Amino acid sequence: MRSSFFGLEIAARGLFTSQRALDITNHNINNVNTPGYSRQVGIQKASRPIGLFDGTGMIGTGSEITAVKRIRDDFLDYKYWSENVSFGEWETKKIIMEDMEAIFNEPSDSGFNKVLDEFFSALQELSKNPGSLQTRELVKSKGITVSKYFNSTAAQLQKIRSDNNYAFKIKVDEINSYAKQISNLNEQIYKSELDGNTANDLRDERTVLLDKLSKLINIQASEVVVGKLPNGKEDRRFQVTLNGSYLVNHFRAYELEYFEVNDATSPKDGMYDVRWKDSKNPVEPKGGELKGYMDVRDGRGINGEYKGVPYYIDRLNEFARNFAKAFNEGIFKDGNQYYAGHAGGVGLDGSTGIRFFSYEENGTAKSSAELMASGADMDSVYKNITAFNITLSSDILDANNGIYKIAAASSGGESENNENINQLLRLRHDTRMFDEGAPEDFMKSLVSNLGIDAQQAVRISENQDSIVQQIENRRLSVSGVSIDEEMANMVKYQHAYNAAAKMISVIDQIYDVTINRMGA
Amino acid sequence: MRVTNTMLIRTMMLNLNSNLARMDKVQQQMATGKKIRVPSDDPIIAARALKFRTDVAEIEQFQKNTSDAMSWLEVTETALANMGDVLQRARELTVQASNGTLTDEDRQKIKAELGQLKQSIVEIGNTTYAGRYIFAGFKTDTAPFAVDGAGNLTYQGSAVNSAPTGQEIFYEISVGNRMQVNVEGYKLFWDGTDERIFKTFTDLEAAIDSGDQAQINSCIEKFDRDMNQLLTIRADVGGRMNYIELTENRLQDDYVNFTSLMSKNEDVDMAEVIMRLKSEENVYRASLSAGARIIQPTLVDFLR
């Protein structure tokens, strides 16, 4: 014999089930725009049936929602993180390379080529009128322009390095902050899942943090089963590793720290590097923004290294140094002397042995004699000249008689003698000066190199961007909330609710008959 | 595949963004007239742009150099022409002087005129151009020719036949191509074995004084010989001017070629860019209106 109110009991469950389902739908609709939110569905089951002892079998007892499930494809998260790391790296490189292109400002009417063109034009004018003080003044001022170009370009490149260094530091802080937040979430998730529930929304939050973290550095994230809990559920712990070491292990976050490198032999000298705070073991980022900053900041382009800012500074130094040496001494990169050079010529005042280019220290230009005394041999003398400090020698810079010392002539007392200046003019097309060829070829190859590298960074970052977007779209396809779908569900559950309520009123009528109308 | 609302909006935003980026690029090309803004836009175009800029700058410089070389040579040519006229007159006078019927007084008149011509020879040798003595070799700041106490012509303070050599002034008129612009003055008066022109005048004066008719006659031949040498030098100068003129023409052609190559390399075709901007604009408008249609309605709008 069934219990009298069994029907009411079933109908009430139907109400509860539909209400719970509407709640879930409501929650989904609310979070349609929440970043990282995964839609949730109620797992609805027929509730436990009751066995009948009269041989009829079992009778259903209605329905219930047994769990609220988060719809998510873990594989897509894994893919997202592994592609995002490369996106982070190349996007960073792209932005910095674009800055560098702006610094070189080529092709334009104010870049290096223009400066060098004008310098050689001034020399041409001097060659045609070596006795004229005006043309000498022109050569001097164009010479200053050339050296100033190097000074300011090198200084701006150095500025990019220090800006990157600062950004690097901030990114390390960010990683630590994310790791800390993930470990906190791990704790909350673990505790709320002890009774077998899934902490859907907290898990979503954690995934968002991992999305962000994966853009900064190469991480692996996984949930591992370490045993069974007393209640028979799996004991799941969440771990994030970086190069095989734990960044987050369950409730614990391991911090990274930045420190300034003080090692003149290292390309990172004076810059920040990153290591584990506890063990002080080094961390070598293999991807992400951190690697992007490091590569561009420190890459010298040697042995397959990335061609970062130091590479371009090195090349500018190389140019300044070798051009100064060739111009002053007529000595090329291979160490052979091909021309008499500026030092081999004679000035209007009969002076000879004067170097045109020199370097400055503490804002003071070295004289020709000081330059030559600064090293034991030619190589060590010219090692002192860098793109940062190249300038004209103080002999030439001298406001009173500097321009008389510009050595246009091959011998003294001959105002129209332009033999030496003509030799210096030959430097412009002498392809033996650099490995790349003549001075302009060197710069041309540098600029096209920069262009190609920047183009590569743009392409890779755009590709990675679209890959990441693609994966994100697939994630959204699986986990995203569709309002249409939720609306349909809403209508569905509303009808189910109405129907269950109707059942109650039908049963109510039955009872009304049996209780109130019988025997009356 | 499920399509969700966030997906729709994201895709629309991505598309709008990439349309805008393309429009921005075309707009930039239109505003600057250049195909590229930075080397990474097209490293090949960038490298070639650098080369063409240098080439054009050099050609411009060479054009200045050729015109300066030309001016120098024109002044030289005029001086040599004047000297030719002087020699021509001197020869005429010599022919007159060789006439045996002349009186001594007539001869002295001729001699006086010859003296003036002789003086102008020195003056022509000291011709200046923009304050520089063009026949002075490297020492253009001092007059190269003078007459010493003994009445001999000196070049830069020493005898003409012991003049310093190797003071040729070269201007670069195209890559690696240098043209001598000056004539070393002593070469007008010294052919390597004999002294010329000025010596002929001196010999003639002596012959007139001594009344040596045979000597006077031989001076006619000497003037012919001197004029020949002068013509050789003038021909050389003329040849150089010719060559410079050719170079000037070639530089002019090069300039046109290189500037047009430069333009082809880096400048945009305006008509094409305007067309592209127009079509990008259409694409953008279309994606805006498509987006506006797609994102608005949901089932919500149709439920009571």
- pLDDT tens, residue by residue, A181-204: 999 999 999 999 888 788 999 999
Phi/psi of residue B174, each to 5°?
Answer: -160, 175
Selected residues 131-190 of chain A with any CB under 8 Å from a CB in chain B: 131
* DSSP letter, residue A513: I
Reference B109, options B99, B121, B122; nearest CA is B99
CA distance A31 to A10: 32
Determine phi and psi for B249, rounding to 5 degrees: -65, -45
Residue A466's CB: how many other CB atoms inside 10 A? 13
Residue A311, pLDDT score: 95
Q: pLDDT for B239-256, tens place per residue?
A: 999 999 999 999 999 999
Taking the Cβ of residue B214 and every Cβ of chain A, the question of whether any pair is shorter than 8 Å is answered with: no
Neighbours of A396 (CB within 10 A): 29
Ramachandran assignment for B158, one of left (phi > 0), alpha (psi -120 to 50 degrees), beta (any other): beta
Q: What pTM, to 2 d.p., does this model score? A: 0.88
The residue among B64, B67, B156, B299 with the most chain A CBs within 10 A of its CB, best to mutate, is B299
Cβ neighbours of A125 in B, within 8 Å? 64
Regions in chain A scoring below 50 on pLDDT:
none
Which residue is listed with tokens 């800055």?
Answer: A99
Asked if the Cβ–Cβ distance from A113 to B39 is below 8 Å, we say no
**Token reading at A158:** 């150095």
**What is the reported pLDDT for A1?**
54
The angle formed by the CA atoms of residues A198, A201 and A204, to the nearest 5 degrees, is 105
Mean of the per-residue pLDDT values of chain B: 92
CB B169 within 8 A of CB B89: no
A-chain residues near B300 (CB < 8 A): 483, 487
For A487, the closest of B140, B266, B298 (CB atoms) is: B298
Please tell me which of the candidates B137, B140, B303 has its beta carbon nearest to residue A487: B303
What is the model's pLDDT at position A466? 94
Q: Do B39 and A458 touch (CB under 8 A)?
A: no
DSSP per position, B214-232? HHHHHHHHHHHHHHHHHHH
**CA separation, residue A55 to residues A4, A50, A52, B18 (Å):** 20, 12, 6, 70
Which residues make beta-bridge pairs with A392? A357
Q: Is A511 in contact with A503 (CB distance < 8 Å)?
A: no
Nearest CB to A452 within list B43, B49, B141: B43
Establish if B136 touches chain A: CB-CB under 8 angstroms: yes
Cβ atoms of A349 and A431 closer than 8 Å: no
Q: How far apart are CA A292 and CA A299, in angstroms?
A: 10
Residues from chain A that touch B68, judged by Cβ atoms under 8 A, are 128
- Looking at the complex, does the CB of residue B177 fall below 8 Å from at least one CB of chain A? no
In chain A, residues with a C-beta closer than 8 Å to the C-beta of B55 are: none
Cβ contact A114–B53 (<8 Å): yes
Q: Going along A250-363, which residue ranges are E strands?
A: 252-253, 256-260, 272-276, 357-361
Q: Quick check: A454 contacting B, CB < 8 Å?
A: yes
B304 touches chain A (CB under 8 A): no
Handedness of CA B75, B79, B82, B88 (dihedral sign): negative
Q: What angle do CA A180, A183, A188 make, to 5 degrees?
A: 125
Name B274's Cβ contacts closer than 8 Å, sequence gap at least 6: B30
pLDDT higher than threshold 70 for residue B165? yes
Residue B265: closest CA among chain A residues belongs to which residue?
A107
Cβ of B299 and A124 within 8 Å? no
User: B4 touching A, CB under 8 A?
Assistant: yes
- Asked if residue B302 has pLDDT above 90, the reply is no
- Cβ neighbour number for residue B76 with a 10 Å cutoff: 22
Sign of CA dihedral A48, A53, A58, A62: negative
Measured between CB atoms, which of A418, A452, A483 is closest to B299? A483
Q: For B167, which residue in chain A has the nearest alpha carbon?
A: A417
Nearest Cβ partner of A415 from B44, B139, B171?
Answer: B139
In this predicted model, which residue has the larger pLDDT, B1 or A427? Answer: A427
pLDDT tens-digit profile of B206-228? 999 888 889 999 999 999 999 99
DSSP element (H, E) containing A177: helix A133-193
- Kindly report, residue by residue over A456-480, the tens digit of the pLDDT: 999 999 999 999 999 999 999 999 9
Is the CB of B1 inside 8 Å of chain A's CB atoms? Answer: yes
Distance from the Cα of A15 to chain B's closest Cα (Å) equals 22
B3–A482 C-beta distance less than 8 A: yes
Q: Which residues contact B297 (CB under 8 A, 6 or more apart)?
A: none
Sign for the CA dihedral angle at B55, B56, B59, B65 comes to negative
Which helix (DSSP H) or strand (DSSP E) does residue A70 occupy? strand A63-70
User: Which helix (H) or strand (E) covers residue A235, if one does?
Assistant: strand A234-242
Question: B172 by DSSP, 3-state: which?
Answer: strand
Nearest Cα of chain A lies from the Cα of B263 at a distance, in angstroms, of 13
pLDDT greater than 90 at residue B99:
no
Binary contact (A488, B50; C-beta < 8 A): no
Residues of chain A with C-beta less than 8 angstroms from the C-beta of B132: 131, 415-416
CB pairs under 8 A between A and B: 166
